[in-house]
Structure 1
Amino acid sequence: MTDASPLVFGRHSGHEQVVFCQDAASGLRAIVAVHSTALGPSLGGTRFFPYESEDAALEDVLHLSRGMTYKNALAGLDHGGGKAVIIGDPQRHKTETLLRAYGRFVASLGGRYITACDVGTYVADMDTVARECRHVTGRSPAEGGAGDSSVLTAFGVFQGMRACAERLWGEPTLAGHRVGVAGVGKVGSKLAGLLIDDGASVVATDVSEPAMSRLRTERPEVEVADDTPSLLRSGIDVYAPCALGGALDDEVAATLDARGVAAVCGGANNQLEHPGVEKSLDDAGILYAPDYVVNSGGVIQVADELHGFSFDRAKGKAARILDTTREIFAVAGDEGVPPAVAADRIAERRIADVARLRDIHVGG
Structure 2
Amino acid sequence: MAALWDYPDFDDHEGVHLFRDRAAGLTAIVAIHSTALGPAAGGTRFWHYADGEDALTDALRLSRGMSFKNAMAGLPMGGGKGVVLADPARTKTPALLAAFGRAIDSLGGRYVTAEDVGMSDADMVAISAETRHVAGLPVGQGAAGGDPGPLTALGVFLGLKAAVRRGLKRDDLAGVHVAIQGVGSVGGGLARRLAAEGARLTIADVDAGRAHALAAELGGTAVDKADILRVEAEVVSPCALGAILDAETIATLNAPIVAGGANNQLATPEDGTRLQARGILYAPDYVINAGGIINVGLEYLGQGDRAEVEARIAQIPGRLDQIWDESAATGDPAALVADRIAMRLIGRG
Structure 2 residues not aligned, in runs of 5+: none
Percent same amino acid at aligned positions?
45
Taking the aligned partners of 1:233 and 1:348, their CA distance within structure 2 comes to: 33
- For residue 82 of structure 2, what is the amino acid of its counterpart? A
- For residue 71 of structure 2, what is the amino acid of its counterpart? A
1:305 — aligned with what?
299
SS at match of 2:16: strand
2:46 and 2:119 in contact (8 A); partners too = yes
Task: Find out whether 1:346 has 2:341 as its counterpart.
Answer: yes
Task: Find out whether 1:316 has 2:311 as its counterpart.
Answer: yes
Task: Find out whether 1:206 has 2:201 as its counterpart.
Answer: no
- For residue 211 of structure 1, what is the amino acid of its counterpart? R
SS at match of 1:164: helix
1:164 and 1:172 in contact (8 A); partners too = no
2:59 and 2:82 in contact (8 A); partners too = yes
Task: Find out whether 1:264 has 2:261 as its counterpart.
Answer: no
Measured against aligned partners, the alpha-carbon deviations of 1:70-114 in whole angstroms (never above 9, x if no partner) come to: 111111111110001111138542111110111011011111000
1:275 — aligned with what?
269
Taking the aligned partners of 1:246 and 1:66, their CA distance within structure 2 comes to: 14
- For residue 264 of structure 2, what is the amino acid of its counterpart? N
**Which one is further off, 72-81 or 191-200?**
191-200
Task: Find out whether 1:196 has 2:195 as its counterpart.
Answer: yes
Task: Find out whether 1:252 has 2:246 as its counterpart.
Answer: no
Task: Provide the aligned C-alpha RMSD in A.
Answer: 2.1
2:250 and 2:275 in contact (8 A); partners too = yes
1:84 — aligned with what?
82
* TM-score, normalised via structure 2 length: 0.93
Taking the aligned partners of 1:124 and 1:324, their CA distance within structure 2 comes to: 33
Corresponding pairs, count = 345
Choose from 1, 4, 7 the match for 2:3.
Answer: 7
* TM-score, normalised via structure 1 length: 0.90
1:241 — aligned with what?
238
Task: Find out whether 1:288 has 2:282 as its counterpart.
Answer: yes
**Which one is further off, 234-243 or 124-133?**
234-243
SS at match of 2:252: helix
Measured against aligned partners, the alpha-carbon deviations of 1:118-170 in whole angstroms (never above 9, x if no partner) come to: 11111100000000000000112279872221111011111111121111233
2:144 and 2:298 in contact (8 A); partners too = no
SS at match of 1:32: strand
Taking the aligned partners of 2:313 and 2:88, their CA distance within structure 1 comes to: 30
Shift of 1:216: 3.7
Q: How does 1:67-82 map to 2 (within 5 A)?
A: 67-82=65-80
2:256 and 2:281 in contact (8 A); partners too = yes
Shift of 1:308: 6.0
Taking the aligned partners of 2:235 and 2:87, their CA distance within structure 1 comes to: 33
1:90 and 1:120 in contact (8 A); partners too = no
1:163 — aligned with what?
162
SS at match of 2:30: strand
Structure 1 residues not aligned, in runs of 5+: 356-364
2:187 and 2:239 in contact (8 A); partners too = yes
1:362 — aligned with what?
none
Larger-gyration structure (1/2): 1
Shift of 1:271: 0.7
1:358 — aligned with what?
none
Shift of 1:352: 2.3
Residues 332 and 67 of structure 1: CA distance in aligned 2, closer, same or farther (over 3 Å): same
Residues 129 and 169 of structure 1: CA distance in aligned 2, closer, same or farther (over 3 Å): same
Moved segments of 4+, more than 3 Å = 89-92, 142-145, 231-234
SS at match of 1:31: strand
1:126 and 1:137 in contact (8 A); partners too = yes
2:69 and 2:290 in contact (8 A); partners too = yes
Residues 319 and 228 of structure 1: CA distance in aligned 2, closer, same or farther (over 3 Å): farther
- For residue 135 of structure 2, what is the amino acid of its counterpart? T
SS at match of 2:179: strand
Measured against aligned partners, the alpha-carbon deviations of 1:205-244 in whole angstroms (never above 9, x if no partner) come to: 1120342244145x33222223342x34442010001111
Choose from 327, 330, 338 the match for 1:332.
Answer: 327
Residues 304 and 210 of structure 1: CA distance in aligned 2, closer, same or farther (over 3 Å): farther
Shift of 1:285: 0.4
- For residue 114 of structure 1, what is the amino acid of its counterpart? V
Residues 290 and 93 of structure 1: CA distance in aligned 2, closer, same or farther (over 3 Å): same
